[in-house]
């Protein structure tokens, strides 16, 4: 089909094209100014093509004839479809709970602190049982052992520091109790024991929590 149009800039031009669905199959531009002339080409095509026939309205279906005395047809009733409801699925059933690496680190820290407290207990026990006396500054040694044990397996933190202080205190108290019992000494707490408990708890907390880094 030959298309003849004139651009708004005043440049007439013509070209051959095969319309698709009554319009340009591609974009066309003015060869002079480069303005998009696709709309002008589509208007020219609509003018050249014959008009489409008007759609014929469908005739309504005739009403069914009813014969007197004839039985009526029983129409089967079908209930409307029920809207589907999406059943919510718990989030725990969809995605597996990711394992927190801090849980393993804390557990390993507790194991390390507990193991180190056994060593600290033996040291304090031997000091009381065989030395027949207690040294307050030895609490530094006990707290350091327990704190290092906690840091080897754990990753620090206030919770780990608190547990390290507890393990250090239990090691000192346990060594004092069993050492006095087996050595025939008085179980009454003395100044050295109290100083050792304070120094051991503070040292274990600082090292176990990582506060000394």
CA–CA distance, 97 with 101 (Å, rounded to integer): 12
Per-residue pLDDT tens digits for 171-197? 999 988 998 988 888 888 889 889 989
pTM of the model: 0.50
- Tell me the pLDDT tens digit for each residue of 61-111: 666 665 566 555 545 556 667 665 655 545 544 444 445 556 688 888 889
CA distances from 196 to 73, 82, 141, 153, 202 (A): 103, 76, 9, 25, 10
Cβ-based neighbour number of residue 210 at 10 Å = 17
């Amino acid at each position: 089909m030959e298309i003849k149009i004139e651009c708004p800039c005043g440049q007439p031009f013509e070209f051959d094209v095969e319309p698709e669905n009554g319009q340009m199959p591609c974009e066309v531009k003015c060869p002079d100014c480069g303005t998009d002339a696709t709309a002008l080409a589509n208007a020219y095509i609509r003018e050249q093509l014959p008009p489409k026939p008007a759609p014929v309205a469908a005739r309504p279906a005739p009403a069914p004839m009813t014969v007197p005395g004839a039985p009526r047809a029983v129409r089967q009733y079908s209930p409307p479809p029920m809207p589907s409801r999406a059943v919510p699925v718990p989030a725990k059933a969809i995605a597996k709970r990711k394992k927190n690496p801090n849980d393993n680190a804390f557990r390993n820290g507790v194991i390390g602190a507990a193991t180190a407290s056994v060593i600290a207990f033996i040291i304090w026990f031997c000091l009381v049982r065989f030395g027949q006396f207690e040294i307050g500054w030895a609490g530094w040694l006990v707290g350091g052992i327990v704190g290092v044990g906690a840091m080897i397996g754990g990753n620090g933190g206030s919770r780990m520091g608190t547990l390290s202080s507890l393990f250090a205190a239990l090691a000192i108290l346990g060594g004092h109790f069993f050492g006095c019992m087996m050595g025939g000494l008085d179980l009454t707490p003395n100044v050295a024991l109290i100083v050792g408990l304070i120094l051991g708890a503070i040292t274990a907390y600082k090292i176990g929590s990582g506060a000394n880094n």
